[in-house]
Amino acid sequence: MEQVMKKEKGKLWGLLTKVPELTLLILLIVAGYAVMEIFSKVQPTAVLSPGDMWLIIVASFVISTLIAVLAVIGGIGGGVIFTPIMLGFTHIDSLVVRSTGLVVAMFSGLISSGPFMRTKLADLKLVFYCGVPITVGALAGSVAAIYLHKYMGPVGDGYVRLSLGILMLIVAYFLISGGGATEYPKPKRIDPIAKKLGLSNFYWEESLGKVVHYDLTRAVPGAIMFIFLGFIAGFFGLGGGAFLTATLNLVMMAPVKIAAACSGVLLAISNATAIWTYISYGALIAVFAAPWMLGQVVGGILGAYLLISINAGFVRKILIIILLVSSIKLIMRGVEGAFGISLHF
């Protein structure tokens, strides 16, 4: 175990030296927090003490790292865990949570994209094909989220929480019903468009010790679903990795590891577009988002390499429990906000 951790630390250090922009970004964030600590000593805030503030920052980083590892292995995107928990168990403005959720999901996918590409788990042709429709949908969803927040206020937030809770139940159902039967799906027929696009490939399956060949199908229905899923991701601030993995695996018949890897790359593409709508509206708070983002950097790398050799069944069970508990809390708070009915008991 110690050798594995040393290996992962070496890979993280290698990434920081090879990507100077990422190193500069992390250094600027650390420097910003150092300056903030100095000013907090000179001018203490009446809202949070410096100790409380740093406790929140450190806790956010640790929790974000754990979320990233679980999300990458489960192929669902960090935002699918982060956003329901924050909307269900905190009173932070929903738009701030959703914008941060997109950042969490985006960095989870962004950091894991490199390892996925190098190990050929991410099918580049499939990513190109799905990238356009999901980006269009994500942009439309983020615009709709701003519109609802602006014109419906707290009642609109209630409807958002209620519908998100129902959506999380659907995600949990997909995780429960998916199982191992879809790990290496075999399509009964390949549609002409999938053939023309050449959506067939192979990859090395570490757990089997052999090369796995696969053929994809239902290219047009898949593209239509990606528009819809992109809208859901941009609107709720989820990233949508869970839905992408399910669509690629259950609809287009990609092996589950290929689906999980491609969904991570697609998260980075689509969320980078959707997040700008929230930024232009002023819904993204850098101090709140930065520790979550850094946690995704560390957890995303660890999760990407663990995915290659780990059995994802145990992680799937943990995700199901988290989603079920979060969905119940979201539905309760959604009913309270939208209809004014108290469900505390």
Q: In whole angstroms, what is the distance from residue 238 CA to residue 282 CA? A: 18
Q: Residue 68: which of 100, 108, 106, 98 has the closest Cα?
A: 108
Q: How confident is the model at residue 112 (pLDDT cuts 50, 70, 90)?
A: low
Is the pLDDT reported for residue 41 higher than 60? Answer: no
Q: Residue 99: which of 250, 274, 338 has the closest Cα?
A: 274
Tell me what pLDDT residue 11 has: 53
Angle CA(168)–CA(105)–CA(202) in degrees, nearest 5? 95
Q: Comparing 172 with 46, which gets the higher pLDDT? A: 172
- What is the rounded average pLDDT for all residues in the chain? 76
Tell me what pLDDT residue 57 has: 78
Percent of the chain with pLDDT over 70: 74
Q: In whole angstroms, what is the distance from residue 167 CA to residue 161 CA? A: 10
Please name the residue that has the structure tokens 């907090």: 40
Tell me what pLDDT residue 23 has: 63
Q: What is the pLDDT of residues 189-198, one digit of tens each?
A: 888 888 888 8
143 CB-near residues (< 8 Å, 6+ apart): 234, 277
Q: Residue 335: which of 89, 94, 93, 165 has the closest Cα?
A: 165
78 neighbors 239 (Cβ within 8 angstroms): yes
Q: How confident is the model at residue 1 (pLDDT cuts 50, 70, 90)?
A: very low
Average pLDDT over residues 172-199: 75
Q: Comparing 286 with 130, which gets the higher pLDDT? A: 130
Is the pLDDT reported for residue 83 higher than 50? Answer: yes
Structure tokens at 80: 């699918």
Tell me what pLDDT residue 180 has: 47
Q: How confident is the model at residue 322 (pLDDT cuts 50, 70, 90)?
A: confident
Q: What is the pLDDT of residues 239-282, one digit of tens each?
A: 666 678 878 888 888 888 888 788 878 888 888 888 889 988 88
Average pLDDT over residues 214-232: 90
Q: In whole angstroms, what is the distance from residue 89 CA to residue 297 CA? A: 25
Q: What is the pLDDT of residues 58-75, one digit of tens each?
A: 888 888 888 878 776 765
Domain boundaries, the chain: 1-43, 46-339
Structure tokens at 340: 């004014």
Kindly report the length of the chain.
Answer: 345
